[in-house]
Each structure stands twice: as C-alpha cells, then as structure tokens.
Amino acid sequence: MKITILASVCAVVLLGATGAAVAEGPADPKAVKHESDKYFDVKGDPTYNVQADGTVDWPTYSGFRRYHSECHVCHGPNAEGSSYAPALKDSLKTIGYQEFYGIVVGGRQHVDSANDNVMPAFGDDKNVMCYLNDIYTYIRARSTDAVGPGRPMKREDKDPKTTEAEMACLNAKD
C-alpha cells in the first residue's frame, strides 16, 4: 500500500512541478459501470448511485460515516465547510478524483497574506486510506446535491467482497 501511495504522491508532485499536466476536473458523475457494490463514472472514477426513492449505494453510505468520523472536524458537517477549512462539497465541483486523492495522501498548504491553511497528509492513516473512495463518493454526491445533509435514510447492502477488502486493508502490514 505504501508503494501505491508513494507513487501517487510522486506523480502529483512531479506533474505539478513540471507543469506537464493540468489537473482534470471531475467527469459527469453518472454511473456507467457497476462492480460488486461500487459504481464508476466514464473515467473510471468512483461515483454514487442514488435511486429515485433516495436509497444510496453502500460506498456513499460508508463515505458519510467515514467523513463524519475523520473529516468533519475541519471541513464541517455534511462537507459544508467551516471557518477552519473549505467546503469539500464545493471543492469537488472543480477538482477530479486524482487531485482529491493526491491532496488527501500528501497534504496541502495554502499560505498567502489572507490564508494560512494546511491540510495534513493522511497517506499513512488506514482509517482514511482504506475508505478514501467511499469518502470521495459521499462528498461527490453532496457536491451535486444528489444526497442531502444528514445520514442517508436508505442504503443498499454491503457486498461481502467489500468487507474482505476492508479487512485486508486494515490488517495489512506496512
């Protein structure tokens, strides 16, 4: 896992330093692929699937739970921001999955005359990294108002393969 994280951080740093690539914004959030209990957009990035009756997919529900255990202290409830950190539901309207991933893994610093904001790196935090796609999916659903504030009332069932993957990630030796 550390090798994957290190590679991702290096890619983000190198691309940003050389100017060779500009960060891509998010694709249309419409799910075009479904595997197990996960959904993906046309670019292959994690996305949500909210049914007409308000039932959310498992990753969106899990992302709500993980966001509120790991992220809301700084970024506010429901990804709506705080006086300390920006509203992630607004940030995901302009940044794509790769940039989001790189920021969470490697951290970010924004310092100027009006700001002194520092996002710590979470690349070694299994409580974040093992659920990062779920967190992204939840915030993405909030960014389009596909999911309102508060705990989703209905959810799809969790696939047993998802539980196996979580356990493998959480118990992995670094």
The residue whose two tokens read 């914004």 is 25
Q: Which domain holds residue 94?
A: 2-171
The residue whose two tokens read 């949500």 is 48
Structural domain total, the chain: 1
CB atoms within 10 A of CB 82: 13
For the chain, give the percent of residues with pLDDT over 90: 72
Q: Could you read off the pLDDT of 140-171 as tens digits, one per residue?
A: 999 999 999 999 999 999 999 999 999 999 99
- Distance separating alpha carbons of residues 111 and 134, to the nearest angstrom: 29
- Distance separating alpha carbons of residues 11 and 14, to the nearest angstrom: 5
Q: What is the DSSP letter of 78?
A: G
Q: What amino acid is encoded at 112 in this protein?
A: D
The verdict on pTM exceeding 0.85 is no
Q: What is the mean pLDDT of the chain?
A: 86
Q: Could you read off the pLDDT of 10-67 as tens digits, one per residue?
A: 444 434 443 444 567 788 999 999 999 999 999 999 999 999 999 999 999 999 999 9
Tell me what pLDDT residue 17 has: 40
